[in-house]
């Protein structure tokens, strides 16, 4: 059975925020963030160079670019989390993820570099997340590009999904 473009773009479904952000939900989301580096390493371990150069959909990024994008994106999310915890509604710095994916480090570097970055960043990020006070979940940063205030509970939910989303892209090619 051939997948639709929507299924290729969103193999795990589009992001839907949790119905509530209770303690159990937040712990599950943080556990997902913690598990991503190992899950991604396991999913990419046996991929050939040809598979790493395969786009997960027509006009999509290659699997190599997806892995490097995850490192770029989650480094930014970790830093934004720390900014929200240490400053009062800081403006974050947006970046052009599509342009970043076209830079040489996103197109040709071995994926082990980004897998190692993800492992280290996620270890530190998860320590921060597990040690936040419940009131910290409502701390926000401001995304100037969209003019939106983003709470840390939304960040956690979004990045748990983001990891699952791109892991789904890798698995499309790995299977």
The pLDDT of residue 147: 87
The pLDDT of residue 70: 98
Q: Classify residue 154 as exposed, middle or buried by CB count within 10 Å of its CB (0-12, 13-18, 19+).
A: middle
The pLDDT of residue 174: 86
Decide if 161 contacts 15 (C-beta within 8 A): yes
Q: In angstroms, what CA-CA distances link 151 with 20, 85, 138, 156? A: 13, 10, 5, 9
Q: Secondary structure of 150-168 in the HEC alphabet?
A: EEHHHHHHHHHHHHHHHHH
The pLDDT of residue 73: 97
Instruction: Decide: pTM greater than 0.85.
Output: yes
Decide if 75 contacts 120 (C-beta within 8 A): no
| Residues ≥6 apart with Cβ < 8 Å to 48 | none
Query: How far is Cα 140 from Cα 154, in angstroms, rounded to an integer?
Result: 9
Query: Domain ranges in the chain?
Result: 26-174
The pLDDT of residue 1: 66
The pLDDT of residue 3: 85
Task: Return the CATH class of domain 26-174.
Answer: mainly alpha
Tokens of 35: 């598990």
Question: What is the full per-residue pLDDT of the chain (175 aa) written as tens digits?
Answer: 688 899 899 999 999 999 999 999 999 999 999 999 999 999 999 999 999 999 999 989 999 999 999 999 999 999 999 999 999 999 999 999 999 999 999 999 999 999 999 999 999 999 999 999 999 999 999 999 888 999 999 999 999 999 999 999 999 998 7
């Amino acid at each position: 059975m051939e997948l639709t473009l929507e299924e290729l773009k969103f193999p795990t479904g589009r992001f839907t925020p949790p119905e509530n952000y209770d303690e159990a939900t937040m712990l599950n989301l943080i556990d997902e963030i913690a598990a991503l580096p190992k899950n991604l390493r396991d999913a990419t371990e046996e991929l050939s160079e040809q598979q790493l150069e395969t786009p997960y959909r027509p006009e999509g990024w290659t699997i190599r670019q997806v892995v490097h994008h995850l490192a770029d994106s989650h480094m930014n999310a970790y830093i934004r989390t720390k900014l929200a915890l240490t400053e009062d509604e800081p403006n974050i710095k947006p970046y052009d993820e599509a342009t970043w994916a076209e830079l040489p480090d996103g197109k040709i570097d071995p994926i082990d570099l980004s897998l190692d970055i993800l492992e280290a960043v996620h270890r530190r990020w998860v320590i921060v997340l597990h040690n936040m006070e419940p009131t910290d979940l409502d701390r926000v940063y401001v995304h100037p590009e969209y003019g939106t205030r983003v709470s840390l509970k939304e960040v956690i939910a979004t990045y748990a999904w983001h990891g699952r989303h791109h892991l789904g892209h890798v698995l499309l090619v790995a299977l």
